Chain A
Amino acid sequence: GDSVTQMEGPVTLSEEAFLTINCTYTATGYPSLFWYVQYPGEGLQLLLKATKADDKGSNKGFEATYRKETTSFHLEKGSVQVSDSAVYFCAFNTGGFKTIFGAGTRLFVKA
């Protein structure tokens, strides 16, 4: 069935470190891919998205590239900040009235 697998957390990094959060998906149909972020005590908000193969989504220094051949959408940031501490969710939508989410990866960034 449709599913998203993302790396388990928590991920703990020092400020200015490089971040990668791996995400792979299994989808029937041609999905659009998303990364959402959830800050403490808040709802999810869209971080970035990509709607077709080889597209790169980017926002706030975060990037992810839609890799159809490996069904992956890994999230990267070159230099994390304390304010990036949050839970990150990889997700996809094939247009079927629902978005499928991964289990979330908690990121802690230490000063």
Chain B
Amino acid sequence: DTAVSQTPKYLVTQMGNDKSIKCEQNLGHDTMYWYKQDSKKFLKIMFSYNNKELIINETVPNRFSPKSPDKAHLNLHINSLELGDSAVYFCASSPNAGRNTEAFFGQGTRLTVV
């Protein structure tokens, strides 16, 4: 059983399109995240959710809209895709937001905008 699963694994789309990435965790965690990893492997937090509520939005463009229908799911919808959105997007979860808590990552979604 995969603990944090994302779909799709690969996504190739044209500029201007709208796309969604889905994430589900079966660990019973309260906190979920979206991270963006650029071509140089730099990993940056985009959003944090706790019990379905948005806690952190790290100055991400409005074209990115996360949605958490329940604690186990955190989806990412992207409108009007741009070339600069090409990256690997990772979903993660943790039991809570405590400082000692590790994050569990999905396998990533490689988004390529052409």
Contacts and interface: CB of A to CB of B under 8 A. Distances in A.
A97 B48 contact: yes
A43 B33 contact: no
A45 interface: yes
Contacts, number: 65
A30 interface: yes
B43 A95 contact: no
Given A98-B56, A99-B45, A99-B103, 19 more contacts: A34-B102, A41-B107, A42-B108, A44-B103, A44-B105, A93-B98, A93-B99, A93-B101, A94-B99, A97-B48, A97-B56, A98-B48, A98-B58, A101-B42, A101-B44, A103-B41, A104-B41, A104-B42, A106-B41
Contact of A87 (B41, B58, B108): B41
Interface string A68-111: 00000000000000000001010001111111110110100000
Contacts of B48: 97-98
Nearest to A101: B43
Interface in B83-114: 90, 92, 97-108
A34 B58 CA distance: 21
A41 B90 CA distance: 12
A17 interface: no
B56 A43 contact: no
A61 to B, nearest CB: 19
Contacts of A44: 43, 90, 92, 103, 105
Interface string B1-18: 000100000000000000
Contacts of A30: 99
